Structure 1
């Protein structure tokens, strides 16, 4: 794997991580302002933001689907593997962000 692809995987991880952490915390501030319990709202938002964090990290789902399609029909299997690695990196980042939020809020 080349250096550029590794850096893309790292960026995907941290973008997804940041979307979950940032979205949940800013949403918790909003919950506090309207009188809802902020910690449980932060935990709920972190759970709901995981899929959107993955989509944001890989740059939209249509590019990933097109890359997989190109790999299947054109016989370029490396495109399928790279796309799956990118999705896994984004999934790992989103899950890690959710785990950190659960750890901070102490809700299971």
Structure 2
């Protein structure tokens, strides 16, 4: 069970880090290319979310195959764990996007 919780923390942090780090670096790149850093950071944070989830769970199709193969064998627990990992990765990516939005919009959202 300790491995499960370690994986949850890892997936969340990876997805969060991909969104947050990618967005921050895009802001730096925007300064170098004379573009608006806040606009670029907001755009990138939204566009990179799916890739953050993919990076966290380790591939685009492998988690789906894992779920399918275990459900086909009647093993629900491993499939549920994989679904939880995907949800946690999405949550991490969403938190990263929300943090970038708070930074760029001054801490309050409409």
Q: TM-score range by the shorter chain?
A: over 0.9
* Residue in structure 2 matched with residue 47 of structure 1 by the alignment: 46
Query: Partners in 1 of 2:67 and 2:40 — Cα distance?
Result: 36
TM-score normalised by L of structure 2: 0.93
Range that drifts further, 45-54 or 56-65: 56-65
**Unaligned regions of 5+ residues in structure 1, if any?**
none
**1:61, CA displacement in angstroms?**
2.0
Gaps of 5+ in 2: none
Shift of 1:90: 0.1
**TM-score normalised by structure 1 residue count:** 0.95
Q: Distance in 1 between matches of 2:22 and 2:58?
A: 17
- Note the 1:8-47 alignment, pairs <5 A: 8-47=7-46
**Bigger mean CA deviation after superposition, 60-69 or 76-85:** 60-69
TM-fit CA distance, 1:62:
2.1
Deviation at 1:28, TM superposition (A): 1.0
Higher helix share: 1
Please list every run of at least 4 consecutive aligned residues from structure 1 whose deviation after the TM superposition is greater than 2 angstroms. none
Counterpart contact for 1:70–1:79, Cα < 8 Å? no
Total equivalences in the alignment:
107
